[in-house]
Amino acid sequence: MRIAREAEPPIESLVAADRIAGRCAELGREITRDYSGKDLILVGVLKGSVMFLSDLMRHIDLPLTVDYLRVSSYGDRTESGGVVRFELDLSQPVRGKHVLIVEDIVDTGLTVHYLLNNLATREPASLKVCTLLDKPSRRQKDVPIDYRGFQVPDTFVVGYGLDYQGRYRNLPYIGRVPAS
């Protein structure tokens, strides 16, 4: 499926909306099974994980809470700056809780590596990672991924929450930015 937005070239689809929906349901079932009886907090990494988180959590049939954080690493470029810092922190302590980080994509791994180290100091009962997309070709830090939606090739992807210079987050599928 290709959607032509006004005054923009069409974005080629890599992962169609119905495949994303099916994978969210599968991951939600796995998470429901794995966290049964546990005090679960989903931690959404703003802004890219918003669409994934909102679809995923509808398939998690457990009492849970949701919190958000925002870190910066990319700015407006398609290459990581390599420096990660908090722009917005969690609203509650996570001590003794089961924390599941929900990310849009693990690329170099620098962001998740930083988050795992940082959140571990807060003494959660457990700390795991759920990412919609995994782009292993550019990994700089070897990070554990507990739940993975799809692996993507070494190309810059947009849509379903992911942006290029702040745009395309509203595309209902994952696409590839045309080479300029």
Backbone angles phi, psi at 73, to 5 degrees: -150, -25
* Order of strands, sheet of 157-158, starting from the edge strand that comes earlier in the sequence: 12-15, 174-176, 157-158
- Catalytic site includes residue 107: yes
Backbone angles phi, psi at 110, to 5 degrees: -60, -40
Residue-level length of the chain: 180
CA nearest neighbour of 101 among 73, 80, 70: 70
Q: Out of ligand IMP, Mg ion, none, which partner does residue 32 contact, by CB within 5 to 8 A per kind?
A: none
| Among the listed residues 20, 40, 104, 149, the single contact to ligand IMP using CB under 6 A | 104
Instruction: Compare residues 95 and 118 and give the one whose CB is closer to Mg ion.
Output: 118
Stretch that binds ligand IMP, among 11-19, 35-43, 103-111, 116-124 (CB under 6 A): 103-111
Stretch that binds ligand IMP, among 29-37, 55-63, 87-95, 157-165 (CB under 6 A): 157-165
13 binds ligand IMP (CB under 6 A): no
Site for ligand IMP in 39-68 (CB under 6 A): 48
CA distance 102 to 115: 11
- String of contacts with Mg ion for each residue 74-113, x by CB under 5 A: ------------------------------x---------
| Among the listed residues 25, 80, 90, 125, the single contact to ligand IMP using CB under 6 A | 80
For residue 18, give both structure tokens: 């119905």
Q: What angle do CA 158, 159, 161 make, to 5 degrees?
A: 110
CB 173 within 8 A of CB 15: yes
Residue whose token pair is 């947009």: 158
Stretch that binds ligand IMP, among 2-10, 23-31, 88-96, 154-162 (CB under 6 A): 154-162
Q: Residues near 169 by Cβ (< 8 Å), separated by ≥ 6?
A: 47, 48, 50, 51, 158, 159, 160, 161, 162, 163
Site for Mg ion in 36-75 (CB under 5 A): 48
Active-site annotation, residues: 107
For binding to ligand IMP (CB under 6 A), which residues are involved?
48, 73-74, 80, 103-111, 156-158, 162
